[in-house]
Structure 1
Amino acid sequence: MSTNQSRRDFFKTSATAAGGLVLGFGWFSTEAFEPGVLTKTTADTVDFNAYLAIAPSGIITIYSPNPEIGQGIKTAFPIIVAEELDADWSKVKVEQSPLDTKKFERQLTGGSGAIRHSWERLRKAGATARAMLMEAAAKKWSVPVSECSTSKGFVVHSSGKKLSYGELATDAAQIAPPKEVKLKNKNEFTLIGTSVKGVDSKAILTGKNLYGIDYKREGMLNAMIQRPPAFGLKLKSFDASEAKKMPGIVNVVSFGNKVAIVGKTTWEVMQARKAVKIEWEKEKDLESSSDHDRIFKEMLNSTTATVHRKDGDIEAAFKNAYKIIEAEYQCPFLPHSPMEPMNFFAHFKGDSIEMAGPSQTPQAAQGQVAKMFNLAPEKVTIELTRMGGGFGRRLNTDYAVEAAELSSIIKAPVKVTWSREDDTTGGIYRPAVRYRFKASIDKAGNITGYMLHGAGMNAGNATRPDNFPVGAIENTLIQSNDHKSPITTGPWRAPITNFLAYAEQAFLDEVAMAGGKDPIQLRLELLEKAQKNPVGKLTYEPERFREVTKLAAEKAGWGKKKKGVYQGFSVYFSHASYVAQIAEMAVVKGKPVLKKVYAAVDCGIVINESSAQNQVFGAIVDGLGHSMYGNLTFKDGAPQQDNFNKYRLIRYNEVPDIEVHFVKNGIDPTGLGEPALPPTGGAIANAMFKATGKRLYNQPFSEQGATLG
């Protein structure tokens, strides 16, 4: 029996035969459907936002629609519903929803926007069910609803008598859902803001099959695919005669520029893959890292850059400057390096196709597969598995689409699995980018002009023209150039800002020093200007920016002398959230050692304290590791690093102590999965300068002689 079928059977049983309350919510309106629809339909036919089922036993089932990538969304969504429902969390069962474009909107993971998008919808889902349960209890007791309240899975009357949600569920299902519901005051939250264990934590620790790479289906074949070894090559011919003789091999086929080896087990396929002889030919220019150096210089010196923002008279600002500061920063291509390589299952049946696997954008995969086979989208079903990392790589659908195409060719169910080498060399990298900054200051050290020129490889606009410090400086110029490279790129955790933040924050420290100002004081002065007299459009709120800066300074004791400690500051706004960081270094035996990172975060209301802490920890470790070590180079179109023996990741003993503080302002939740990464590189670089006197302009820092001890 398939997983999807078992889920359908569960809802038929719990919603109809056994009674209970099954509540669906229209995604766009957040209004519940009428009771007659709710009690006589199954999960196959009702449109839902949060799908909420309460069984007579008291067990509450909440479907979580968004893909789980480690950001905790599978736990956070149900927490929000359960909070407004006043549920007993120990009786909540959480299920991952498959892709369903009729029931859900924005069923994706990316851009740190899921909670922000669904906050009100999920709250109304829980509050509506709670109101219906209270009305059911009031009818049983023949009392006004106003005399009823709820607490941990019970409706309680002012007299003290109470009924459990399970006891009320069947009666509540007959009540028309209210059009308007009252949400809790935020100071009444008892679950939101606490530390809640992840709903999959036990299963992960005990090795249950949660991830795409664990997925199995009866009769399923396994496949690995040989793709071009260099960007710019295409398939000319191949000879698989020897491979086909090897144990367990079922077929070897080509499609597009790929050769797929299909067999009974992944191990047998891996061995046979080595025996396939493939000839490639040149299709496009084969670029090397030395070519990129030349191209970057040409772009930064170009007089035909695209202007994204121009305020005031930048030429006059530079002409009349007391002092001009200039700097250039560069970062390389980077792979995503998730612990779980790409994989996907597909079973093409002619008039439909079943798929399963780890995807951040399952609807996009569904649409592309449907178009490929000229099918209606609903004929392409996708079951979502948990993802073992992704960081933007799984926003792309190439690995899912190729599984579907291969299944159609071999006419059998198949799971395509990428090796670590496939994953590292397969493209969709973070774009390589360079930035040139120029600032003018007056005698008092105030910034009078600010220029940023970005240059990228398939980066599009490599700048964020409305981000701080723009809006706080009267004269600004933001512009960029882009090179179309055959090396494929895509979103990488905190796209563009993952490096831009480091460059901007390192440059602002250099400007502060040139003007004789404390780095934090310079930023606070700029933010005060942006608040009182903004120049043009702002995407950020200066007051929130200032508060998170002050919180970090307070917690780290900025400006207070700590013997042998060197501090570096950085602050950034991305994905609607604000994060300030202070890195502390000591010099041990002549080498800088990173001891601690303080982080102050304003992401609005924190849903799950433990998950939020983990997200910030992970982002800082990720940002630190890639700033220090990450580097992907090319020779004649081929990546020179193909596995972790050549591509350096941060090691456990290099992770510093991390202390996280959240601003408690009661603002509706904003992003968190990405915003804590961008400031890290700047904090490390600025602390490194304090400790060694050396500025770091290029990533990885290790190739400029920087160490962590």
Structure 2
Amino acid sequence: MKTSKQITFSRRSFLKTSTLASGGMLIGFNLFNACKQDVVPPMDISKLNFNDFNAFIKISDEGKVTIFSPNPEIGQGVKTSMPMIIAEELDVPWDDVYVQQGVLDTKNYQRQVAGGSQSIRFGWEPLRQTGATAKQMLINAAAAKWGVDASECTAKLGNITNAKGEMLSYGDVVKEAAVLEVPEDVKLKDPKNFTIIGKSISNVDIDKITTGKPLFGLDYKEEGMVYASVLRAPAFGLKLESFDATATKAMPGVIDVITIGDKVRKYFEDGKNNWSVRLNSNDKVVVIANSTWSAIKGKKAIKAVWNTESNLESTEFHDKSLIELLEGKTFNTMRSDGNVKKAFAEADKVLERTYESPFLPHNCMEPMNFFANVTDEKVHLVGPVQTPAAAATVVSDLLGRNIDDVHVEMTRMGGGFGRRLYGDFAYEAAEISNAIRKPVKMISTREDDMGTGVYRPAIKYKIAASIKDGKLTGYHLKEAAINSNMYGLIPNFFPAGAVENYQVDVVNYKSNITTGAWRAPYTNFLASAEQSFFDELAGVMGVDRIQLHLDLLQKVKGTSDERIQYNPERLEGVIKLVVDKSNWGNTKEGVYQGFSVYYCHNTHVAEVADIIMDKGVPIVKKVTCAVDCGIVVNPLGALNQIKGGVIDGIGHAMYSELTFNKGVPQSDNFDSYQLIRMGQTPEVDVHFVESNESPTGLGEPTLPPVGAAVANAIYAATGKRLTKQPYMNNINVEEKIIG
């Protein structure tokens, strides 16, 4: 990456006005490179209200700066890190910066999304350009006031100085700056001069979070609001035949009982194949009440009859072998290099393994909820959603409203992990409010979320490798997943390009159980399978497992294959760093190590797990993690993301599983579904590769590799290869730790 860069930033990317009631300067801006290019600013921008921008900078007469953060905040820290990037180039003290959540603007902006660890990656250059452009406008205003050339002036910490040593604060020139032309040529800082980026800064909402002040969707209230609890089918594939709400209607606090689902069902049947609408495609019974408790109690008293004809038994996915399960199905080849069949036919040895993973719920700390108020004038939606633009679009279609009528406000989310990519809860709230014409808050219980929601699909991988003359000559990966079309870029991740004969085949197994993205989609289990396989492969080949990876990466260096997504040099870098920092191969007696490396979500990660055995139970004591994510914007936030991903990955690989019986989830709360406990969390030792490359994602990339690192360490300790998650269900131990 060039450390200093001259850029051309179109004036049409900016909207600005100085006619604020409090005085000062307001700059609205197109935030991403993905912004629509044909946006036309309003003719009279002086009458714009704050809510007309989804993101902008406001500089007051006192020099205080408010930066509006546009992307949904689910704990990944973008509400802190994205404003940090603007503030860095604007050159203001962080103590003078205030951050507020922006609202959705579907006309002018795209990718107001939290998902895929892409917010900082996509926003890096535009956010820097925005801050630098605003700073240049202030410098130009000061230069005009002094009657000097702007090139003679510099800005630092919210002040502008000229060659004579005279100084003006930003607040002194905001009114003049607001009426100047937007400069098109600005320079970005050299990273070595960063004063905010690279410094650990606390979450901007930390005080509100720790003191319980309203931030989340569940906190939102409006005058006259009622509450709704939705009775959904108890098993996937069931349809509502009839219901008796007599007892419910007699309960204190219950206002009404209605049904919804017809609008969504019609929308789905009309061919608008929005995945999350499928969750709402059946009729549901809704209890309207004056409190959450009354609504939930009323729902439990409803007597419903469900049609079972369309129910699909999904446990057969687990009960049958991969060959039996897929008999007669046609695989889709995602990538094929060389001749895999020939390589296997000529091999001296062939290693073949099948790896299995269960369904997993998302288990967000804050259950699904959303507020809706549908009136003749507008549709007002408020709540925690990772895809606000998609929610607005679907609601406008469902209700037959113009998209301009739909106004979405984003609250902070108590977890997302992919669950809130799917706006079914927002559609339910909108359909309920449309039916009763009152402001309503739809609130789900934990049991609703776990029993009637979205799940990581159960997946099986069959991996085979051919060995000839001690060399890896062929690699064949087959994937079978429930309801999954999330094949994405995985055929082009490691070891693609490193093996001459290489093939990836996938097949989809249909089920009524709704599945979708789960933290680190595509790779959350694939990394465990492939890196466990490579560990065993190294043993079969009689080579060092670290050296096997390094040798394969040499074959990718200098490749002209543009399909390859990972960078072999950067992957090599994290491998060497983690080997050094983990004291690989030199641990004290009784400590066993496992290695894993993976690239996903644009970030390269290598991990080493240290375990001990206690009464036959593997205990993960430490995970050493090497990360190449480019420039680290906020080290404190980055560490939290990395450690959270590692711990989450260990917990689900070791303990978590959701099973179904005829479409009925067998766990609906934490008393029967095990997450990792505090006493089971290891030390996580994090090391960053120093880099001037543009930053990449951190919310997800550290989760996928850790499952294999732990499995490989368990093999080192026990000699047993684990191919099925959760691992603790497949280890013969005298005692299992559950708390």
User: If the length of structure 2 is used for normalisation, what is the TM-score?
Assistant: 0.91
Q: 1:319 to 1:120 in 2, by over 3 A?
A: same
* SS, match of residue 498 in structure 1: coil
Task: Give how far 1:106 is off.
Answer: 0.9
Task: Work out the CA distance in 2 between the residues paired with 1:43 and 1:96.
Answer: 15
Deviates more, 1:67-76 or 1:136-145: 136-145
- Corresponding residue for 1:548? 574
Matched, 1:456 2:481: yes
- The farther-off stretch of 270-279 and 401-410 is 270-279
- Provide the aligned C-alpha RMSD in A: 2.3
Q: C-alpha displacement at 1:670, in angstroms?
A: 1.3
1:596 correspondence with 2:601: no
* 1:142-161 deviation line (CA, Å, top 9, x unaligned): 23222221111111223333
Residue 688 of structure 1, CA deviation: 0.9
Give the Cα separation in 2 of the matches to 1:563 and 1:111. Answer: 40
Distance 1:366 1:480, change over 3 A: same
1:166 pairs with one of 165, 168, 171: 171
Q: Post-superposition shift, 1:318?
A: 1.1
What is residue 188 of structure 1 aligned with on the other side? 193
AA matched with 1:459: S
Task: Indicate conservation of the 8 Å contact 2:17/2:45, yes or no.
Answer: no
Deviation at 1:691, TM superposition (A): 1.2
Deviations 1:204-226 (A, max 9, x none): 00101100011111100001001
CA deviations on 1:569-614 (whole Å, 9 max, x unpaired) are: 1111111111111101123454432110011111111111100100
The match for 2:152 is 147
Contact 2:51–2:103 (8 Å) recurs in 1:
no
**Which of 222, 225, 229 in structure 1 is aligned with 2:230?**
225
Tell me which moved more, 410-419 or 16-25: 16-25
Could you tell me how far apart the structure 1 residues matched to 2:441 and 2:210 are? 25
Equivalent AA in structure 1 for residue 448 of structure 2: D
Q: Which amino acid aligns with 1:454?
A: E
The structural deviation recorded for 1:245 is 0.9
3-state SS, counterpart of residue 585 of structure 1: strand
Amino acid at match of 1:472: A
1:185 CA drift (Å): 1.1
User: Partner residue of 1:669?
Assistant: 695
CA deviations on 1:173-215 (whole Å, 9 max, x unpaired) are: 1221101211111211110111011110110001011000111
Q: What letter is aligned with 2:591?
A: V
Q: Is the 8 A contact 2:70 2:112 kept in 1?
A: yes
Residue 636 (1) aligns with residue 662 (2): yes
Q: Distance in 1 between matches of 2:184 and 2:223?
A: 46
How far, CA to CA, are the matches of 2:330 and 2:364 in structure 1? 38
Of 624, 627, 631, the residue aligned with 2:653 is 627
From 49, 62, 67, give the equivalent of 1:43.
49
Q: Answer whether contact 2:17 2:178 (CA < 8 A) is retained.
A: no
1:300 and 1:436 in contact (8 A); partners too: no
Cα displacement string for residues 64-99 of structure 1 (whole angstroms, at most 9, x for unaligned residues): 000000000111111010000001111111110111
SS in 1 for 2:256: strand
Give me the whole-angstrom Cα distance separating, in 2, the residues matched to 1:652 and 1:181.
Answer: 49
Moved more, 316-325 or 574-583: 316-325
Does structure 1 conserve the Cα–Cα contact (< 8 Å) formed by 2:16 and 2:178? no
**Which residue matches 1:647?**
673
C-alpha deviations, 1:92-117, integer Å up to 9, x for none? 11110111113432111111111111
Q: Give the Å deviation of 1:467.
A: 1.2
Determine if the alignment matches structure 1 residue 109 to structure 2 residue 135. no
User: What is the aligned partner in structure 2 of residue 7 from structure 1?
Assistant: none
Matched, 1:177 2:182: yes
How far apart are the structure 2 equivalents of 1:633 and 1:671?
A: 31
Paired residue for 1:205?
210
Asked if 2 retains the 8 angstrom alpha-carbon contact of 1:455 and 1:462, the reply is no
- Cα distance in 2 for residues equivalent to 1:26 and 1:43: 16
Q: Cα deviations across residues 276-323 of structure 1 (Å, max 9, x unaligned)?
A: 111111241331424543374434555732211111121221122121
User: How many angstroms apart in 1 are the aligned matches of 2:255 and 2:130?
Assistant: 50
1:3 aligned residue: none
C-alpha separation between the residues in 2 aligned to 1:246 and 1:47? 45
1:25 to 29, 53, 78: 29
Deviation at 1:537, TM superposition (A): 3.4
Residue in 1 that maps onto 2:278: none
- Please say which of residues 561-570 and 676-685 is displaced more in the overlay: 561-570
Say whether 1:615 aligns with 2:619: no
Q: Which residue of 2 is the match for residue 277 of structure 1? A: 303
Q: State the Cα distance separating 1:409 from its structure 2 match.
A: 1.1
Structure 1 residue aligned with 2:132:
127
CA offset digits 1:218-271 (Å, max 9, x no partner): 100001001000011000001111111111100011123210011000111122
Change (3 A) 1:15 1:528: farther
Distance in 1 of aligned mates of 2:526 and 2:85: 34
Q: 1:350-399: per-residue Cα shift (whole Å, max 9, x none)?
A: 34211100000011110011001111111011110000001000000111
For residues 124-175 of structure 1, what are the alpha-carbon distances to aligned partners after superposition, in whole Å with 9 as ceiling and x for unaligned?
1110111111112222222322222111111122333321111121121122
**SS state of the match for residue 455, structure 2?**
coil
Could you say if the C-alpha distance between residues 598 and 51 of structure 1 is closer, same or farther in structure 2, counting changes exceeding 3 Å?
A: same
The change in CA–CA distance for 1:706 and 1:80 in structure 2 (over 3 A counts) is farther
What are the within-5 Å matches in structure 2 for residues 530-609 of structure 1?
530-532=556-558, 537-609=563-635
Match of 2:392 among 329, 352, 366: 366
Contact 1:68 1:74 survives alignment (8 Å): yes
Mark the CA change 1:213 to 1:80 in structure 2 (over 3 Å): closer, same or farther: same
Q: Distance in 2 between matches of 1:150 and 1:92?
A: 16
C-alpha spacing 1:318/1:239, structure 2 compared with 1 (3 Å):
same
Q: What CA distance in whole angstroms lies between the structure 1 residues aligned with 2:616 and 2:247?
A: 58
Moved more, 188-197 or 294-303: 294-303
The 3 A distance-change label for structure 1 pair 160 and 627 is: same
Aligned pairs, number: 697
- Greater shift, 59-68 or 528-537, is seen at 528-537
Question: How far apart, CA to CA, are the structure 1 residues paired with 2:25 and 2:45?
Answer: 7
User: Distance between the aligned counterparts of 1:322 and 1:285, measured in 2?
Assistant: 47
Quote the offset at 1:660 in angstroms.
0.8
Q: How far apart are the structure 2 equivalents of 1:285 and 1:591?
A: 39
Aligned to 2:711: 685
Deviations 1:551-574 (A, max 9, x none): 111111223343322111111111
Asked if structure 2 preserves the Cα contact closer than 8 Å seen for 1:34 and 1:176, the reply is: no
Q: Superposed, which structure 2 residues align to 1:182-331 within 5 Å?
A: 182-256=187-261, 257-290=283-316, 292-294=318-320, 296-300=322-326, 304-331=330-357
Structure 1: tracts of 5 or more residues without a match = 1-10
What is the rounded CA distance, in whole Å, between the counterparts of 1:95 and 1:68 in structure 2? 11
Structure 2 alignment gaps of length 5 or more: 1-14, 262-282
The 1:177–1:509 alpha-carbon spacing in structure 2 relative to 1, beyond 3 Å, is same
| Counterpart code for 2:28 | G
- CA–CA distance in structure 2, aligned partners of residues 13 and 462 of structure 1: 46
Tell me the equivalent position of 1:56. 61
- Per-residue Cα deviation, 1:497-519 (whole angstroms, up to 9, x for no partner): 00000000000000001111111
Matches within 5 A, 1:345-384: 345-384=371-410
